[in-house]
Structure 1
Amino acid sequence: MASGILFRLSKAAAAEEFFELLGVKYDPKIINVARLHILRRMGQYLAAEELTAATDSEVAERCKAVLERAYADFVASSPIDQRVFKVLKEAVAPRPKKESLVQLGRLK
């Protein structure tokens, strides 16, 4: 359905458009800091949703709920705390222990 909410969301060019299309209130200061993180988290939450048999209005309600949930994650904490992107996850991952270099002359 070319006029459905998923189609309209797929054409959105900015995070603010997602919020406007779904009728979710937001603080521009939070969007300015975490826009990509919020949308990424929304995508993660949507991936867990079963929308195949849902009507367009049901899909819109689920999308709205998921966006509100994703936004709330970043109202409560920072993108660094949430770590939705691989680079941020790896920044705190335990680093592999480096092998010690042993000089051949010290081996007996």
Structure 2
Amino acid sequence: MINSSPTASILVRLRKASSAEDFFSLLGVDYDPNIVNVARLHILKRMGQYFAQEQFAGAAEPEIRARCKAMLEQAYADFVASSPIQERVFKVLKDAVADSRKPAAFVPLSELK
């Protein structure tokens, strides 16, 4: 668990978080530990994708907190309704699908020595 001052901004506190559970705790989001144990990195990566689309400049702290909470709730919901394999947030999983759609190289037996 992080030891950040409760008066620090939520963005500062999230930056110091060291586990998925810290994010859920800081933002007050309920979760099933079984889902987080399977998809923790995927949930945080998806939240990061949502986060990258946000602009917080000029927003008040309560609004920033609410928006961060909504992003984590959405990222978590993505993996409650689906699986890491289906969501494919990491490049290696995206590449696995792309590779499986390519036709296999054909080598005739006469070419083998």
TM-score (norm 1): 0.85
Residue 102 of structure 2: aligned partner: 95
Aligned to 2:56: 51
Structure 2 alignment gaps of length 5 or more? 1-6
- Percent of matched pairs sharing the same residue: 62
**For structure 1, which runs of at least 5 residues remain unmatched after alignment?**
104-108
Distance in 2 (CA, whole Å) between partners of 1:3 and 1:58 is: 15
Rounded to whole Å, the distance in 2 between the matches of 1:96 and 1:12 is 44
Give the secondary structure class of the aligned counterpart of 1:92. Answer: helix
Counterparts in 2 of 1:76-91, with a 5 A limit?
A: 76-91=81-96
Partner of 1:13: 18
Q: Which of 20, 23, 26 is the matching residue for 2:28?
A: 23
Secondary structure of the corresponding residue to residue 75 of structure 2: helix
Shift of 1:96: 6.8
Aligned Cα root-mean-square deviation (Å):
1.8
Residue equivalent to 1:106: none
Residue 92 of structure 1: CA displacement? 0.3
Dislocated runs of 4+, deviation >6 Å: none
Q: Report whether the alignment pairs 1:65 with 2:67.
A: no
Higher Rg = 1
Counterpart residue type for residue 95 of structure 1: K
Deviation at 1:95, TM superposition (A): 2.9
Q: TM-score, normalised by structure 2?
A: 0.82
